[in-house]
Amino acid sequence: SDDGLTWTFHLRDGLKWSDGSDFTAGDFVYSWQRMVDPEVAAPYAETVLGMVEGYEDAIGNPDANGNTTTTPDVTKLKVEAPDDKTFVVHMAKPTPYFDKLATFAALSPVKKDVVESNPDGWTLDPKTYVSTGPFKLKEWKAGSYLLLEKNENYWNKDAVKLDGIKCLLMQDQNAAFSAYESGDALMIKDIPTQEITTLQKRPDYHIDPQLGTYFIDLNNTLDEFKDAKVRQALSLALDRKYISETITAGTYTPAKGFIPQGVSDWDGSSWYDHLTDPSVYINVDDYQANLAKAKELLAEAGHPNGEGLPTLTYSTNDSAYHKKIAEYLQQAWGELGLKIDVNIVEWKSFTPQRRSGNYQIARDGWVMDYDDPSNILNLTATGNGNNSSKYSNPEYDALLEKAAAEKDQKTRFEYFHQAEEMLMRDMGVTPLLYYNEMYLQSDKIKDSYHTTDGIYHFEYADIAE
C-alpha cells in the first residue's frame, strides 16, 4: 500500500499441495501464525515477523526478562485471507524489504491437518511431509540419503525435467569427494581443504559469493580500544590479501567494508562496486601503505610502537583455519609493537563468552539472512544482542532508525551508505574477509543455479547424458 503498512500477495490459480489437496491463502495464515506460537519456539520468528502488526500480543507481550505479561494469542498476528487466493499482511511499521523477508525458508507454508495430526512426527515420514515445491520427499534413510521425486502437483510441473534427486548424507569430506570423483555423486559442497588448491584449476570447481563477512571485534568498552585511531591502526596493519590467498587458499575474499559482496544496492546494482572512497574503505591492494598509516595512527593515539598498551588477548574457536588466522594476527600486530596472546576457546563456550563482553579481541562473523543492508548493519546498533564489539554511536543508530522508517528506497539506501561509512571511520568492528561458497558440480548438470543466500536450485535442471 502507499503507506507501506499493507502487503497483499495474490496466489496463482490451481495451486495444490504435493498430496493433491488445494493450497489456499489460509494455509499462509495458519503457517505464519503458527510460527509465532511460543510453544513452537521458532528461532527466526522475530526476525521475519517482528514487524507485523500484533506480533507482541501474539507472543504474550514479554517483559525485559522474556516473561509473558499477557496470554499469548497467535490470532493477534495481523495476517488474513479475505479469499482463497489473497493473502494480506498488516505491518506495525513500514518494512520496504518485506518482499525479501517473505521468501525466507522459515516462512514456507505447512499444512494444518498434517501438522496437528502428528505435531512431533509429521516431518519424519515421507507420506506426511507434504510441500508445494517442484519435488517431494519419497524416501528418507536417516544418516544415509534423502530421495526426492518430481511433484506432479507442482504449479509449473511441465518445466521440471528431472524425475528426482538423491541427496547423499555424508559426514566425511574425503568420502564425499571420493564419491564425486568416481561419478557416484554429481555435486558436492563440502570440499576437503587439502584438495582446494588443486581443484581451483578445474572447470567443475565453483566459488560463489555468500552474503557474509568474517570480522574482528575489538571490545569498545575497554580503555585500550576507546580511541578510534587505535582501532583503525589494528585494522590497517592486516594484509587481507595475504590472508585470503595464502591462509585460506583463495576461498575467502579480502574485505574492504562491512557489508559483504553480493548485497544489492537500491537499484539492483552491486553494493560492493560502490565502495570506492579510499578515505573510508580499505585498499586491500596496498598493504605497505596501510601498514605505514597504521603506525602513524598508533603514534597519534599516544602509543608509538605499541607503548602504553597492555598485552592483548585474541580469542577464537578451535578450528584449524581460525587458528591459522589467529597466528597471523599475532605476527601482524607484532609489527606495530604489540604483544598478542591467543586464546583458543571450545565452540560451545566461545559465542556466549564473546557476546557477554568477556574478551579483549575476538573473531566474529555473520551470514546474512536476506539481501538487505539492515540485516548486517543492525548488528552494530547500540543494544543489539549480536553487537559483541559493544560499538555505540548515537549518530549511527539514528541513521539506521531513519532507514527503518523511510519508504523511498533510494533515500533509504543513502542512509545505509552513510551508516556503513560512519562504522568504517569509527572502525566499530574490523572487517577481514568476505565468505564464499565452494562446490564441485559436474558439467552433466545443466540449468541449475545457486543464489547468494546459499540456496541451490534444481527445479529446472537437467542431466546431459
Q: Nearest to residue 442, comparing CAs of 196, 188, 250, 194? A: 188
Tell me the one-letter amino acid at 142: A
- What is the rounded distance in angstroms from the CA atom of residue 409 to the CA atom of residue 70? 37
Phi-psi category of 447—alpha, beta or left, where left has phi over 0 and alpha has psi -120 to 50?
left
- What is the rounded distance in angstroms from the CA atom of residue 203 to the CA atom of residue 448? 16
Radius of gyration of the chain (CA): 25
**One-character DSSP codes across 17-28:** -TTS-B--HHHH
Task: Quote the number of domains for the chain.
Answer: 3
- What is the rounded distance in angstroms from the CA atom of residue 285 to the CA atom of residue 87? 50
Q: Nearest to residue 236, comparing CAs of 278, 293, 285, 182? A: 293
Give yes or no: residues 49 and 141 share one domain. Answer: no
Q: Would you state the cell numbers that stand for residue 87, as one nine-digit string?
A: 493473502
Q: Would you state the cell numbers that stand for residue 444, as one nine-digit string?
A: 552433466
CA angle 187/193/194 to nearest 5° reads 110
Give yes or no: residues 276 and 395 share one domain. Answer: yes
Looking at residue 44, its pLDDT comes to: 86
Q: What is the mean pLDDT of residues 15-33?
A: 98
pLDDT tens column, 114-138: 999 999 999 999 999 999 999 999 9
Strand partners, 88: 8, 80
Residue 164 has pLDDT above 90, yes or no: yes
In a domain, 394, yes or no: yes
Give yes or no: residues 288 and 390 share one domain. Answer: yes
**Which parts of 361-408 fold into alpha helices (H)?**
374-377, 394-405
Report how far Cα 408 is from the mean position of its chain's Cα atoms: 25
pLDDT tens column, 339-362: 999 999 998 899 899 999 999 999
Give yes or no: residues 172 and 195 share one domain. Answer: yes
pTM of the model: 0.85
Q: Would you state the cell numbers that stand for residue 217, as one nine-digit string?
A: 571485534
pLDDT tens column, 32-85: 999 999 999 898 899 899 999 999 999 999 998 889 999 999 999 999 999 999
In a domain, 129, yes or no: no
Q: Nearest to residue 101, comparing CAs of 55, 47, 40, 25? A: 47
In a domain, 122, yes or no: no
224: containing domain: 209-436
pLDDT tens column, 411-449: 999 999 999 999 999 999 999 999 999 999 999 999 999
Q: Which domain-ending residue is among 85, 115, 145?
A: 115
Residue 275 has pLDDT above 90, yes or no: no
Looking at residue 250, its pLDDT comes to: 92
In a domain, 430, yes or no: yes
Mean pLDDT of the chain: 95
Give yes or no: residues 50 and 149 share one domain. Answer: no
Give yes or no: residues 326 and 392 share one domain. Answer: yes
In a domain, 199, yes or no: yes
Give yes or no: residues 259 and 387 share one domain. Answer: yes
- What is the rounded distance in angstroms from the CA atom of residue 258 to the CA atom of residue 326? 20
Tell me the one-letter amino acid at 259: I
Give yes or no: residues 53 and 156 share one domain. Answer: no
Q: Give the CATH number for residue 408.
A: 3.10.105.10
Give yes or no: residues 223 and 369 share one domain. Answer: yes
End-to-end CA separation in angstroms for the chain = 50
In a domain, 246, yes or no: yes
In a domain, 121, yes or no: no
- What is the rounded distance in angstroms from the CA atom of residue 154 to the CA atom of residue 286? 53
| Alpha-carbon separation of residue 97 from 103, 404, 408 (angstroms) | 11, 10, 11
CB 193 within 8 A of CB 321: yes
Q: Which domain-ending residue is among 81, 115, 149?
A: 115
Give yes or no: residues 157 and 297 share one domain. Answer: no
CB 49 within 8 A of CB 34: no
Looking at residue 143, its pLDDT comes to: 93
Give yes or no: residues 331 and 263 share one domain. Answer: yes
pLDDT band of residue 276 (cuts 50, 70, 90) is confident
Give yes or no: residues 168 and 196 share one domain. Answer: yes
